[in-house]
Amino acid sequence: MHAGTLQQLFPTAKLDEPLRRYTAWKIGGPADALLEPRGAEELISAVRKARDHGVPVTILGGGTNVLILDGGVRGLTIRLAKSLTNVEFDGNRVTADAGVLYPVLANTTAARGLAGLEFATGIPGTVGGAVYMNAGAYGSETVEVLDWADVFRDGEIVRMTNEDLQLSYRHSILHERPGWILLRAGYTLAPGDSAHLKARVKEFRAQRMNGSPNRPSCGSTFKRPEGDFPGRVIEAAGLKGTRIGQLEVSSVHANYLVNLGGGSAKDALKLIELVRETVYEKLGVKLESEVRVIGEP
Q: What number of other Cβ atoms are within 10 A of residue 154's Cβ? A: 9
- Residue 58, φ and ψ in degrees, nearest 5: -125, 135
CB of 260 closer than 8 Å to CB of 217: no
CB of 157 closer than 8 Å to CB of 64: no
Q: If you write DSSP's letter for every residue of 124-173 in order, what string do you get?
A: -SBHHHHHHHT-EETTEEGGGTEEEEEEEETTEEEEEETTTTT-BTTB-G
Q: Which residues of 263-288 are buried (b: 16+ CB within 10 A; e: fewer)?
A: bbbbbbbebbeebbebbeeebebebe
Annotated active-site residue 170? The verdict is yes
How many whole angstroms separate alpha carbon 12 and alpha carbon 80?
Answer: 15
How many whole angstroms separate alpha carbon 83 and alpha carbon 80?
Answer: 5
- Choice among 170, 184, 200, 224 that is catalytic: 170
- Choice among 83, 217, 220, 264 that is catalytic: 220
Annotated active-site residue 273? The verdict is no
Annotated active-site residue 172? The verdict is no
Active site residues: 170, 220, 290
